[in-house]
Chains A and B, each alone.
Chain A
């Protein structure tokens, strides 16, 4: 019921921004996505996650249409469950599964962007709402906000440079909201530390993951085997 109400609200609000066609904007963006069958790139990952201390690390990213994505790195790292690098293109390319409306305009990184809302046609879809800030001049997603049923809302900012013709970002900042991790003192065996005052377990804290990409290699006919995770 909520999503139906949201749908109608968005339809009504879209009438205010009838100047640009979201369909055309997405089609132009999808043209860029379709140029890529697969790619690899070097990635430098920086983490600032509440309750988790970990160092930045290098890795290699692999992508293959429509939605195969993997980062290989030496060590342990955290990636959002709904990975924007994997989801944005596959979500937008599946034009039959959603309806789109423009809900406003905003300047992001000096670009005049239309805020395109994507609403799934099926009520059972994992996606509740996708918001994409797409540059009107050169269709690229500069910001996205994806709300799903199970993983909450994920905010992403993308920065482009020499691979913008393929809609491949140079840097992606992923904003996440997590409940602060709470490890019982007895489980952590911290006899020499005082317990901190109890905080509300429902209060979410903000964290960021920054992925910086370099050395893109596009359409190298990647083997599917690279996406199989060894245990």
Chain B
């Protein structure tokens, strides 16, 4: 256990020392600040895009543009982009060391290959967690500071749901947990591809390509796509949004959690399997 702890700490230090780790933090901070500034300036016009269907009949009273809505929009926007940032770090966790040759030194340590892969995977998850914490601070805390608190008018394809501001903090908590699980799948996929490929760029690009293809499949309502959609992890990555419906479709959320957890387990098991059999030649 001590040995594993030492490898894990070493992996965490390595992760935090790499400049690309901070690209993700910088991107999240920049995108959040940029969108917050845009909403601060033009938020009402942007909102009227959604509410115009009602405006002939109703006056919408109360503070619609608030921190909760901004956080919802930011999370909805970034959850599709964040996998790319996760892939940037986790995609070359093993392959980067294979390419540079440092993997041989790593394997001279008494720790088993399984422990090395697990340590790298956990370091990737830690980075993912940090990314989400930064997103949480920027999207929720900073947005609430700028725009204030209030009810959330959440948007889904069936219409609008207004969630009371008093009933929202627990939803955010679980939403970020599901988001972590979703990005955990990407981190696991990145680790897996990193184990089977030998250069640092290909796994990163492959993760990105998979996510882009799966997302495109999810966007189109074609009968042939409908068959495979439930099995794609990208379909379940936005199940955090279900927490902002009324009533909450707990069964759908549970199914998504199971699918995401299954993917994590599958990818990490495959990573361990491949890495243990990998012939290190470099």
User: Which A residues are closer than 8 A to B by beta carbons?
Assistant: 49-55, 57, 71, 73-81, 83, 150-152, 176-196
A182 close to B226 (CB less than 8 A): no
User: Which B residues are closer than 8 A to A by beta carbons?
Assistant: 50, 53-64, 76, 80, 150-151, 153, 155-162, 164-165, 215, 218-219, 221, 226, 229, 234-239, 241, 245-246, 252, 256
Chain A residues, Cβ within 8 Å of B218 = 191-192
B54 close to A79 (CB less than 8 A): no
Known A-B contacts A76-B150, A194-B221; the reply to A183 vs B156 at CB < 8 A is yes
A51 close to B159 (CB less than 8 A): yes
Q: State how many angstroms separate the Cβ of B134 from the closest Cβ of chain A.
A: 21
B158 close to A76 (CB less than 8 A): no
Known A-B contacts A52-B159, A196-B158; the reply to A76 vs B64 at CB < 8 A is yes
A190 close to B241 (CB less than 8 A): yes
Q: How far is the CA of A53 from the CA of B55 in the complex (A)?
A: 17
Among B50, B159, B221, point to the contact of A53 (Cβ < 8 A).
Answer: B159
A-B contact list, 27 entries, CB within 8 Å: A52-B160, A53-B160, A53-B246, A55-B162, A55-B246, A57-B164, A73-B62, A74-B165, A75-B62, A80-B58, A81-B58, A83-B59, A152-B56, A180-B159, A183-B50, A183-B160, A185-B219, A186-B219, A188-B155, A189-B80, A189-B238, A189-B241, A191-B219, A192-B229, A192-B236, A192-B256, A196-B158
Among A57, A180, A191, chain B packs the most CB atoms within 10 A around the CB of A191
Q: How far is the CA of A191 from the CA of B241 in the complex (A)?
A: 10
Among A52, A76, A190, point to the contact of B151 (Cβ < 8 A).
Answer: A76
Q: How far is the CA of A176 from the CA of B229 in the complex (A)?
A: 38
Please name the 8 residue pairs, one residue from A and one from B, whose CB atoms are nearest each other, closest first: A51-B159, A191-B218, A54-B162, A76-B62, A75-B151, A76-B151, A53-B161, A188-B157
Q: How far is the CA of A50 from the CA of B58 in the complex (A)?
A: 12
Known A-B contacts A53-B161, A189-B238, A190-B241; the reply to A78 vs B156 at CB < 8 A is no
